[in-house]
Structure 1
């Protein structure tokens, strides 16, 4: 209900104000499940992608967002749930693995599942090595993967800032990538990497970013 209200009130205002350049929207199915795999350069990515897709996109969110103290924490938790955010404990490897099961369940319900395969927001605007979670989701669920290239969102809401700025934004959807009928191949580390690289190449072609063969989290740690 909260998402529907935002779609009818907030989304049109944001579209009119920012006028995002959207290409390839027809690649997003009007109904049924798909994985929306995108580069991640700003916290505003999760706003512009659903606006451009014209469908609700469910995202994994840090579990701590759902467990704040007091009234503010309760309101924040309800807001995240209402907007389709799914809690995941990123600090616990077992819980992170369980999030794949949660994602598959959401896809089985016909939802769009948004994922940032880099596993973190880019620390320098470049595209970094992908984690294999997106490959596991694609192989296990068999649903199409829609690659997305986001451009300019980091200038609308720069990392570390809470102030939104008006700046041209591009949301570019690519043709669906099909990995159906290959669930048994999830056990192969080689296949997981190949699938991840196929998705990465498609996203890079849409975003135009320079690629760095290192995980974004590692670059953050050394930066």
Structure 2
């Protein structure tokens, strides 16, 4: 495979639509966005370190992707479901704090065109283990994107963007059943952020144990209907036993 020159008129990026078990590509298309995580660390800015976002993906997504660049919505190792044009600057959107269990608050507005059928490239053009988002330099892919943008229909490239989902308003008053959990979280969060005390950020499993499970218990879920890492799902709850999908 050959590389294209750096003077392509559009920078082309691939972005993951999530794993098959918890995909979120439909959210991208419905709301006119491209999303990436982890988002719970808060908005990105140039003063923040890559370690706060588990690597450089968020920084590159926020600072290197430009309006007019092309996003390919990847749904497999070498398949895409849509092609889009970036339509705005980096945003941090709290409404996407739980997308099928993912915290994806880092956002870019995108004019998407859903392909009639998924397009499969002939080889692993995005790599053997594609990252969540990356610049694509492979000539086959860049040429596909450029030809697609020049082919009718093209009205989607300037179509109005759909509205972003409304953020849930904050509660005026904490429900009584949750007051203890809220106080516990308020005490624990500063400790977890204290690098001198803990040495490193807590794992996802630790956060589930300290925050999610106690929260569900406070809401009234019994232990037997709360599962952790059930069929590769971080936390699952069941209306009744036996536990079934």
TM over 0.5: no
Higher-helix-fraction structure:
1
Q: Which has the higher contact order (CA 8 A, sep 6+)?
A: 1
- TM-score between both structures, scaled by the size of structure 1: 0.26
Higher-strand-fraction structure:
2
- TM-score between both structures, scaled by the size of structure 2: 0.25
